[in-house]
A and B are shown apart, each in its own frame.
Chain A
Amino acid sequence: MDAVIENLPTYWRGFSMTLLLLGVSGLSALVLGTIIAAMRISPVASLRGFATVYTELVRNTPLTLVLFFCAVVLPILGSRLEFATAAMIGLAVYTSPFVAEALRSGINGVPIGQAEAARSVGLGFGQTVGLIVLPQAFRMTIPPLINVFIALTKNTSVAGAFFVFELFAGTRELANANGDAVIAILLGAATFYLAITIPLGAVAAQLERKWVVQR
């Protein structure tokens, strides 16, 4: 326990980097994922094809390999990015297809009768999508999206292995320096991760319960 308290500044330094990674790559993944999802339901066939292939390829590539590319291969190809920036890009790219899938399955979850009813009372495309489909899809989308962000929180730990000093890298350093208190050090790090993931999970479950009953 003492080892944890003594090393709180190191933990904190790592944790703030973890939060930064989570925030920046989470937002970028949201933007990128929305674009991909829009491409997947667009009437333009070639965009649809591109988005499908992108989703399929990125989702089946291990995150470790994506971050390895960003941290080691990109500099050889001539990039001058900082490691933290490269890791953010990697995490955002890796997360974006999951965001897109959550959005798409939310939209697919709205029963087709809803859109048919809207069309048959004379609403146009914009009205149907904006007033009928999206408000319902939104509810179906938020809990899975939160789950994607929980996964992203845990995935930021992989960046620690690629020269970014975040919580996992800090923990590894502390565990090496405090050989006598490894268990306490590791449990301390777990607490920091759980402090993000458990509240987010509780929010997702709560929203899910609240919204599913109303439908």
Chain B
Amino acid sequence: MSGTSVLFDAPGPKARRRSLISSIVAGVLILAGLAWIVMTLAAPRESGGITLPGYFDPSRWDIFADPALWSRILTAGVWATLSAALTASVFAIALGILLSLMRSSAIAWIRIPTAVVLEFVRGMPVLLMMLFILLVLNTGAFWAVVAALSLYNGAIIGEALRAGLAALPRGQREAGLSLGMRPLQSKMLVEFPQAFRQMLPIIVAQLVVLLKDTSLGAIVGYVELLRLNMYQLATFYGNRYLFSFFIVTLVLYLIMNLSLSWFARWLSKRTASKSSGTKLDPDNPNQAILVAEASAAARQMGNAPGRI
């Protein structure tokens, strides 16, 4: 139901005016609330007889005029976050491909253990996995973060690809087999490229999750953006700058994550217009996987709908 307008009668002049007025009133209320928050933060505060400057006072932000600090934040913090995320993405996608093939294998003693392992990995917090790898395998913080993120996201990507494989029309496989391909050949050369392309937006959306989750590394001692800014630099410069560091960290994370999210959305629009298949919502990987699985299930029931 993309157009909610079906639910109402077409608004007449009165209704249009009413909705304009309520829109303006709500907008003013929201702006007033935001302004109140900003004013409260900006106001100087009394604490134990001393007047502290407001949070937007230049004395709380002066350190950010120093290019040396920025180069530290960018080269040490942002780079550490991005390098962990990049390394983990490569491994996660490779693992996802492998797992999806194993999970949809025709041989039961490959398929069933893979399903059990996937279930185990998907049900466990990534943080616990990081701690496990750090303490048990003694890999050092960077590889603990990368390994846990690859394993967890690899499992999710594997599941997405499997759903993509299952949602393909059965004719694709039959055509491959009838050309004389072996089952694995047909899977690798005919089915998998289509499933991968169909699921690419979902995979990129999962990489946003991966990028966000690198911040868990701060907890197990990997010095990335959050740990550098909020624990090391904020401690070094003192509590006075904590709020400023928080805002800077937040903005940096938002820039990285939003650009990747928008890329996923753009990709999904592109693939949706190219292939006439189901459009999967990259904002909602879980939902998208469910939709793909559902259309696969419906197809198996024999009453295959053209699209859902």
Contact = CB atoms under 8 A, between A and B. Distances in A.
A178 to B, nearest CB: 11
B125 A119 contact: no
A105 B278 CA distance: 14
Contacts of A59: 261, 283
Contacts of A150: 123
A82 interface: no
B297 A213 contact: yes
B94 interface: no
A110 B131 contact: no
Nearest to A208: B290
Contact of A64 (B2, B3, B124, B216): B216
B266 to A, nearest CB: 15
B101 to A, nearest CB: 21
Contact of A108 (B2, B290, B301): B2
SS class, residues of chain A in contact with chain B:
helix
Interface residues of A, number: 70
A111 B1 contact: yes
B301 to A, nearest CB: 6
A12 B293 CA distance: 37
A172 B45 CA distance: 38
Nearest to B301: A213
B136 A148 contact: no
Interface stretch (B18-26, B65-73, B142-150, B172-180): B18-26
B106 interface: no
Interface string B119-137: 1101111111001100110
Nearest to B123: A197
Given A101-B284, A144-B286, A175-B135, A161 B127 contact: yes
B243 A62 contact: no
Contacts of A63: 212, 215
Contact of A60 (B6, B249, B258, B286): B258
Interface string B206-223: 001000111110110000
A69 B160 CA distance: 33
Interface in B238-290: 239, 242-243, 246, 249-250, 253-254, 257-258, 261, 281, 283-284, 286-287, 290
Interface string A173-207: 00100000011001001100110011001000000
A62 to B, nearest CB: 4
Interface residues of B, number: 63
| Residue among A60, A150, A160, A212 facing the most chain B CB atoms (10 A cut-off) | A60
Contacts of A102: 284, 286-287
Interface string A10-49: 0000000000000000000000000000000101111101
Given A105-B281, A105-B284, A194-B120, A46 B250 contact: no
B125 A193 contact: yes
B212 A72 contact: no
Interface string B35-64: 000000100010000000001000000000
A99 to B, nearest CB: 11
B8 interface: yes
B215 A62 contact: yes
Contacts of A128: 7
B166 interface: no
Interface in A141-181: 143-144, 147-148, 150, 154-155, 157-158, 160-161, 168, 171-172, 175
B6 A72 contact: no
A155 B19 contact: no
Interface of B: 1-4, 6-8, 19, 22-24, 26-27, 30, 41, 45, 55, 119-120, 122-128, 131-132, 135-136, 208, 212-216, 218-219, 226, 230, 239, 242-243, 246, 249-250, 253-254, 257-258, 261, 281, 283-284, 286-287, 290-291, 293-294, 297-298, 301
12 contacts: A61-B253, A101-B283, A108-B1, A112-B2, A119-B7, A157-B128, A168-B131, A182-B135, A193-B124, A193-B128, A198-B119, A212-B297
Q: Which 9 A-B pairs have the closest CB atoms?
A: A46-B27, A197-B123, A60-B257, A62-B215, A157-B125, A64-B215, A154-B125, A161-B219, A147-B286
Given A50-B30, A101-B284, A133-B1, 10 more contacts: A43-B19, A60-B261, A61-B212, A62-B213, A63-B215, A147-B286, A157-B127, A194-B124, A197-B122, A212-B298
